[in-house]
Amino acid sequence: MPPPPSATVVGAPPATVGRYDGSRPDRLRSGLGALTLGALGVVFGDIGTSPLYALQTVFTADNHRVAPQPVEVYGVISLIVWAVTAIVSLKYVTFILRADNDGEGGIMALTALLKQHHFTTWRRKSILLALGVFGASLFYGDGIITPAISVLSAVEGLHVAVPSLSHLVVPITITVLTLLFAIQRYGTGLVGRLFGPVMLVWFGCLAVAGVNGIRVDPGILRALSPTYGIAFIASHGTIAFIALGSIVLAFTGAEALYADVGHFGRQPIRRAWFFLVFPALVLNYMGQGAMILRDPTAIANPFFLILPTWSRLPMVLLATVATVIASQSVISGAFSVTRQAVQLGLLPRMTIRHTSEHEVGQVYAPAINGGLFVAVVVLVLGFGSSAALASAYGVAVTGTFMLDTVLFLVVVRTRWRRPRWVIAVAGTVILTIEATFFCANLPKVPHGGWLPLGVAAVVFTVLMTWQRGRRIVTRNRTAEEGELATFLAELHHLDPPIHRVSGTAVFLNASTETTPLALRTNVEHNHVLQEKVVILNVRVENVPHVSAADRLTVNSVPFPEDGVVHLRAAYGFQDEQDVPALLRLAVAQGLLAPPDLGELTYFLSRITVVGSREPTMPRWQKKLFLTISHNAAHPVNFFGLPADQSISMGAEIPV
């Protein structure tokens, strides 16, 4: 279902809008080979480390309900191969990668696309946006499990390679995770350049190990036929259903293929998947299956048992590095999703640091990093093994898959204008497969599956509460501010007249029509105003990036001879909001006279949200909103303002 050639992103400036073709000039200069190698290191870490625990979990979960017998082994391998083919190769790589928002992907991009569309009813749009927000919330649930299960499963290779060190599995895992989270503050640019080559070696080893296992029993190649999977389901209904709950572990991380399309483009991701990752995964799973056919006791750890004895300890080390890379991808993704949520107004301002001067996507959120670290360590200590952790995996993953499918199909219908029957057929096929996997994971909910769902529910509640409270505060703040045009006119009738002092004052305001509270307070209480006044309205568009040429516009104001300039700035939700850089851009474009930097002062309307008796929200939700708002980051840091030239003027706004 490719989009029509004329598909564009609605609502963004013309220079930044257009169907993304995966071949931007900067990416062309980087070279397709380099981008493909980079995609290996970032995009495929999660799904690439699934062979460490997926097949083992199928045969060891639920008291060994799935027996290591030929019918079961052939059926399970066949289901893994064809599930990965249907969900990853067809759904994500072939179709969903086309549904980008100015080159950016992920469920937040789908949500932004739908946010731009004019639906016939507000209720329908609200439901779809809520689904998108819940999908993003599920990502955090996955984010705390992936580092724990990945690193733990790699270190568990010591049980096979060096059994005498088995008692050190958990301490080593926690040490590795501690180092991983500790280095986040320094950025991942330097280490990131090593990710691609390491993962290239990793996938090569997966393929070689798989071939080594297939040599044990070449008959496993028959599992490439979907008939074995169908026969397994037909003859082992309940057991096959149980197996599906663990088979889903083979394609966790598939959503990352879509989420990271903005970093590398579609073609590098597709080439890496079809020419290396997909074949390596299939070979490895088949090799593990052949080993289980030969020795049923190999279900204890089929990944490491298909390896020659001499290579097991080096493979433990390589697997640990690979799982660190997989974990890094999820952690970085959590930072990016948080940043997008802040830009889209779903979270309050929080401290987000850029760790690279060249890559806008490399960010670090200290609060998110600390929260993830604590949660991951608690998981490792609480569950103790990757097999136990696997029970917590699956529900959130399959839930995200279904939400991606629903939102994608709505985009196909509303944005690409595909016929209803195409949507109905595609939705029936894809959602039936994914709903089956989702239902197969529901029995895991009491045994750990509640954890990611609980995390997602908490995050969803926070996001929706902030969005709702923010609308109420904006409404009350707008009423308090009053119209800008009226305020500027009143300046001419003040008695005594306002005193104008030298310098330039910059007032930031959320609305284009109202008076900044800091400006009103300064005039009413101090009775002074700088000779030059810049009123700056910053808004975030539902697109990832806005070009510098389209960033600034000038609003007309009454009495321009009074030295008042009203600027509107547009950012994408992936752009960094830097007000000093914005003023330099305005000067370069001739929209603003060069200010005296020594006499430039930034005035901020620092509002304090207070509770009221108005029934605007349930009492518990109002308390939650007040708690969140009191912990928001200071706008001085958020907008990159110099602290010694910034003045905050407070006001109380009821909610």
CATH number at residue 361: 1.20.1740.10
Residue 370 lies in a domain: yes
Structural domain ending residue among the three candidates 437, 467, 497: 467
Residue 328 lies in a domain: yes
Residue 10 lies in a domain: no
Asked if residue 458 and residue 605 are part of one domain, the reply reads: no
Asked if residue 499 and residue 456 are part of one domain, the reply reads: no
> Quick one: pLDDT at residue 200?
93
Residue 647 domain boundaries: 481-654
0.85 cut: is pTM over it?
Answer: no
Helix H or strand E encompassing 533: strand 528-540
Residue 112 lies in a domain: yes
Structural domain ending residue among the three candidates 434, 467, 500: 467
Asked if residue 503 and residue 357 are part of one domain, the reply reads: no
Token pair, residue 71, equals: 């019918």
- What does the pLDDT average to over 208-219? 93
Asked if residue 394 and residue 525 are part of one domain, the reply reads: no
Contacts of 135 by beta carbon, 8 Å cutoff, 6+ apart: 107, 111, 399, 400, 403, 404, 407
Residue 5 lies in a domain: no
Average pLDDT, the chain: 83
Asked if residue 597 and residue 461 are part of one domain, the reply reads: no
Residue 273 lies in a domain: yes
- Range with lowest mean pLDDT among 16-25, 374-383, 416-425: 16-25
Amino acid, single-letter form, for residue 457: A
Asked if residue 283 and residue 189 are part of one domain, the reply reads: yes
Residue 575 lies in a domain: yes
Highest mean predicted confidence (pLDDT) among 30-34, 460-464, 485-489: 460-464
Asked if residue 525 and residue 377 are part of one domain, the reply reads: no
% of the chain residues with pLDDT over 90: 30
Task: Report the alpha-carbon distance of residue 470 to residue 344 in Å, rounded.
Answer: 12
What is the three-class DSSP state of 392?
helix
- Range with lowest mean pLDDT among 128-132, 360-364, 506-510: 360-364
Asked if residue 525 and residue 454 are part of one domain, the reply reads: no
Highest mean predicted confidence (pLDDT) among 276-285, 466-475, 629-638: 276-285
- Range with lowest mean pLDDT among 19-23, 112-116, 291-295, 345-349: 19-23
- What does the pLDDT average to over 164-192? 81
- Give the chain's domain count: 2
Task: Report the alpha-carbon distance of residue 361 to residue 338 in Å, rounded.
Answer: 12
- Range with lowest mean pLDDT among 25-39, 105-119, 322-336, 515-529: 25-39
Tell me how crowded residue 181 is: count the other CB atoms within 10 A of its CB.
19
Asked if residue 520 and residue 384 are part of one domain, the reply reads: no
Contacts of 570 by beta carbon, 8 Å cutoff, 6+ apart: 13, 539, 540, 541, 546, 550, 551, 552, 553
298-332: pLDDT as tens digits: 998 999 999 999 999 999 999 988 888 888 777 87
Asked if residue 448 and residue 485 are part of one domain, the reply reads: no
Residue 333 lies in a domain: yes
Asked if residue 103 and residue 59 are part of one domain, the reply reads: yes
Structural domain ending residue among the three candidates 467, 500, 525: 467
Asked if residue 550 and residue 620 are part of one domain, the reply reads: yes
Residue 573 confidence (pLDDT) above 80: no
